[in-house]
Structure formats: C-alpha cells, structure tokens
Amino acid sequence: MAEAEAAGDAGLGPAAAQEGAEPAELAAVIGATVPTGFEQTAAEEVREKLGSASRISKDRGKIYFEVPARSLPQVHRLRSVDNLFVVVQEFKDYQFKENKEDALKDLEDLVKKLPWTDPMKVWELNNSLKKKKTKRKKHNLQSPASRGKLSDGGEEGGADQNNTNDQEDCAQNPVAVEPTGGQDTENPQEVTSRNGVEEEEDNEQSDVKVEVQASSESGTKAGEGQTGEGEAKVLRFRVTCNRAGDKHSFTSNEAARDFGGAVQEHFQWKADMTNFDVEVLLNIHNNEVVVGIALTEESLHRRNITHFGPTTLRSTLAYGMLRLCDPQPTDIIVDPMCGTGAIPIEGAAEWPYCYHIAGDNNPQAVKRAANNISSLLRKNESKDSSTALGVPLDVIQWDICNLPLRTGSVDIVVTDMPFGKRIGSKKKNWDLYPACLMEMGRICTPGTGRAVLLTQDKKCFAKALSRVGHIWRRAQTVWVNVGGLHAAVYLLRRTSEPAQDTRPFW
C-alpha cells in the first residue's frame, strides 16, 4: 500500500494509551457534521462549552475536536452539530494508486493496520449512554397525550426526513451493495427529499453515499468489538462511504464494498443494513481519508420538532442563525414567518432569558408550531417535573406585512423567508420581500435592532434590500445549502433612521 501521512492516531490521548488506564482517562477525536457555512459557529460553540479547539475540515460541513471520553454527554448536547463520529484514523495526504484494483487492495489492507481498540471503547461508552436515553424515550412515549400529539402530525412526511449523514448530495440516491452478487439495490429508508438540509454545494464533486453490506454470512465472535455483556455477542455492522473528488479510479460503491468486506473479516461481525450495532464510516475527500465509527443513529437536529411542515428548518441551522445575531438577556426576538416554529423553539431552549414570539399567516403552520411547543413542554416536564418551567415563547397568527407589534419594540428578527419553491412563488416574492423588510424595520429598534434572514431567492432579496437601504444595512452573508439549494443567510443591522408608521391605528 502506498503509505500516507497520518494526521494522528485519532482517537487517543497519551493517558488513554497507558496500560490499565481507567475509562474516564480515555480521550477521543470527535468528528462532527454541521450545516455548511456554519463550521466556524460550531467551532466556537465547542470551544465555549467543551473548552476544546476545533479544526475545520477542507471537506465543507465537518469539524474535528478532541475531548475526554467522559465528556460524551456534553458533546451530544451541542446545538450546532448534526451527526457525531469517533475518528479511528485520519490521513491528510493519502496516495491512491492509479490502478483501480491496487487502490482497492490498499483500502482492504488498511483495515488491519488501523488502531480500532480505543475508538471501539469510546463507541461502547457512547452506546451505554444511548441505551439509557432510549429507555427514557420509550417511557415518555407511553403517555396518552404523547400518542395523541404524535398521531396529529400526519401531514408531514419527507420535508425534514433525514438519514444518518446529512452531508450528501440529495441528487444521488444511496445504494446498498452486495459484494458477492454485484447487484445494486435502492434502500428506500435512505432516499429522502430534504428541504432544510445542508448539502455539499460543489456540483463537480461526485459526493456519493454508499452503504455496503459486506456479506450475508454470520460471524462467530464479536472480536475487538466485544460489548462485555456476558457471553460473546456477534455485533451487526454496516459501512457507509462518502466520497468527493474526481481523481479516484474507483467508485464509492467499490470502495465501500471492499473496505466493508475487510472489516467483516477482521472483526468477524455480521453485516446488517438496517438493524446494525456499529456503523463504520469511510470518508474520502480528494486525498484526505478519514475512518470513523458513528456515535449518532439519527441527526441531532431532529431534537425539537415533532410536527413537521413542507419546509421545516433544521434545528442546527436555526441555532446558527440565532447565534449570528448575538441575543442578549431580555431581548425580544420575533420570527414573523415561523412555519413549524423551528427557530423560536430553538431560541427558547438555548436563550431562555430572551422573549420569543412566533407568528405565521397560515393557520396550519401556527397549529403545528403550537403542537411543537407543547411537545417541548412535555419533554421538559419528563426531565424533572418538580422544577419544570414553561418556555418564554408565544405563537400567533398574523399578517407579516401588518404585524400587531409596536414600532421599535423588537430587538431581533430571525426568519426563514419563502424561497418561492415549495412556499409562495418567485413572482410573489418581488412584492413580498420589500414589504417584509419595511415592516421588520418598523418593529425593530433603530440603531440596535438586527435581523437574520435566510433565503434562496438572492436576486429578489438584493433588489428589495436596495430599496430599504435607509432602514437596513447588510453586515454579513453566510452561504449555505438548504435541501440542495444554494441559499444565503443575511445579517442586517437596523440604521438609526426612524421608521414611519403609515398603518391605520387600531
């Protein structure tokens, strides 16, 4: 195999390598997928909450940081990350062979050389935390109120449905590959239409997700992945390969197939595409290769929303937008086009010392937002009923162009504006956007007010902003991908110009 420069043993600090070290001494390099464009926001959150420095990957939408394994519960509580994995090893400049067979043979041989032991210990520790959480979740779902609310969300389907890795191009369907048969079959659970999901935006990259079932044969022993729960348990696994770049002689299917076969041979695990215990990740971005073990089964961005709408925003993206406007205690934060309430619910959970107001002109959206707030209240009560408090959040049905709020009474406006795709139309946006910006400018405090607005209709937004330049100044733009659409998050600052209230008094 062409030797590559290893970026680190990735998974272990010096203390963890010592023989007889306690599990609490174990350290891990954690990889996290985040909304593209908000990598720096995620890095800042990791530094503030975990005290760890982060490295932003060249492969957009990923960061890496090292923490003690005992900090895993705090890692799972990060608000800006979608999926987590423990890094087994990283190669910054992996030299792939030009010949396809040789390149694939190198990947097979790599499996036996990787330092699996300590990352598997991290996975086992994470698994024990996950089991505790699952037991609590099952207990909470038994309440009649919960069952009623869950059944109420029948209109929702694919808008925010997501798989375990949110960085893949939604135009590419994940493929399950049987190495022994060579037949490609679709995995219906993984094919989704995802508005509100960050995607890699480089169209020239072939960023493909491939899940590989290495063989249908059963192993006889768990090997290094032994869980320690009495007798030997044969772990079930799958391999997920994410590849970006056009200089590889092999496809993602082929890489994942051969790598997955070597993993099965090494550990004697049993391959299972759906009911797996371990998900091994093979991430290839040009010459950068990262091997990891997934720590999340579903994206952490699904934490707040039970009742979805056609354009439900991911909680992680909502967090990034809110953080961009730097909320301060006692700030009044308004989302005038709240949809299912993803932004204000995230705001109320993370900034409880602000007051959050959600509104929408669609009665169905208001109903969904109210149901999501109720779900959040029930979740808070289940944690500790003796100290459970309400959330500083109200939801109202209103007209975005005629808000029932006093002039200059709001500190921050944060909203996901209609793209003109699933909601509204591009033609309507030419009238709606200027009217929205004027009304937002009216309710925001002159001189200190700010707005964070997400839209994919950038041309219309730029024109509307030029018409209200006396009220709003653009301070920052963050480019993001939402459901495969190239969108932008704009941070606007309110000028000192007084707003003229031309509405009739009521």
Q: In what helix (H) or strand (E) does residue 32 lie, and over which residues does it extend?
A: strand 27-33
Alpha-carbon distance of 156 to 159, in angstroms, equals: 7
Identify whether the C-beta of residue 180 lies closer than 8 Å to the C-beta of residue 256.
Answer: no
User: What are phi and psi for residue 375, nearest 5 degrees?
Assistant: -65, -40
CA dihedral 291, 293, 296, 301 (to 10 degrees): -10
- Per-residue pLDDT for the chain (506 aa), expressed as one digit of tens each? 444 444 444 333 444 444 444 444 799 999 999 999 999 999 999 999 999 999 998 778 899 999 999 999 999 999 999 999 999 999 999 999 999 999 999 999 999 999 999 999 999 999 888 665 555 555 444 444 433 333 333 333 333 333 333 333 333 333 333 333 333 333 333 333 333 333 333 333 333 344 444 443 333 334 444 444 445 678 999 999 999 888 899 998 899 999 999 999 999 999 887 889 999 999 999 999 999 999 998 776 556 556 555 557 889 999 999 999 999 999 999 999 998 999 999 999 899 999 999 999 999 999 999 998 888 888 777 666 555 567 899 999 999 999 999 999 999 999 999 865 445 556 778 889 999 999 999 999 999 999 999 999 999 999 999 999 999 999 999 999 887 889 999 999 999 998 776 555 44
Alpha-carbon span 448 to 41, nearest angstrom:
22
Q: What architecture (CATH level 2) is domain 304-494? A: 3-Layer(aba) Sandwich (3.40)
Buried b (16+ CB within 10 A) or exposed e, 427-441: eebeebbbebbbbbb
- What does the alpha-carbon distance between residue 254 and residue 266 come to, in Å, rounded to a whole number? 18
What per-residue confidence (pLDDT) applies to 162?
A: 35
Residue 398's CB: how many other CB atoms inside 10 A? 16
Tokens of 472: 């709003």
**Distance of CA 175 to CAs 187, 188, 201, 285, Å?**
6, 9, 21, 19
DSSP string, 89-132: EEEEE----SSHHHHHHHHHHHHHHS--HHHHHHHHHHHHHHHH
DSSP 246: S
482 neighbors 456 (Cβ within 8 angstroms): yes
Q: What are the two backbone dihedrals, phi and then psi, of residue 393, each rounded to the nearest 5 degrees? A: -150, 130
Domain at 5-134+158-301: CATH code: 3.30.2130.30
- Is the Cβ–Cβ distance between 347 and 356 less than 8 Å? yes
- Cβ partners under 8 Å of residue 459, min gap 6: none
Q: Spell out where 191-349 has E strands.
A: 208-212, 236-244, 270-271, 278-285, 288-294, 332-335
| Domain limits, the chain | 5-134+158-301, 304-494
Task: Please give the pLDDT value at position 60.
Answer: 83
- Order of all β-strands in the sheet with 332-335: 393-397, 355-360, 332-335, 412-416, 450-455, 485-494, 472-482
Whether the CB-CB separation of 176 and 212 falls below 8 Å is answered with yes
Beta-carbon count within 10 A of 20 CB:
5
Helix (H, G, I), strand (E, B) or coil at 50: helix
pLDDT recorded at residue 68:
94
pLDDT at 481: 86
Could you tell me whether strands 270-271 and 62-68 are parallel, antiparallel, or unpaired per DSSP bridges? unpaired
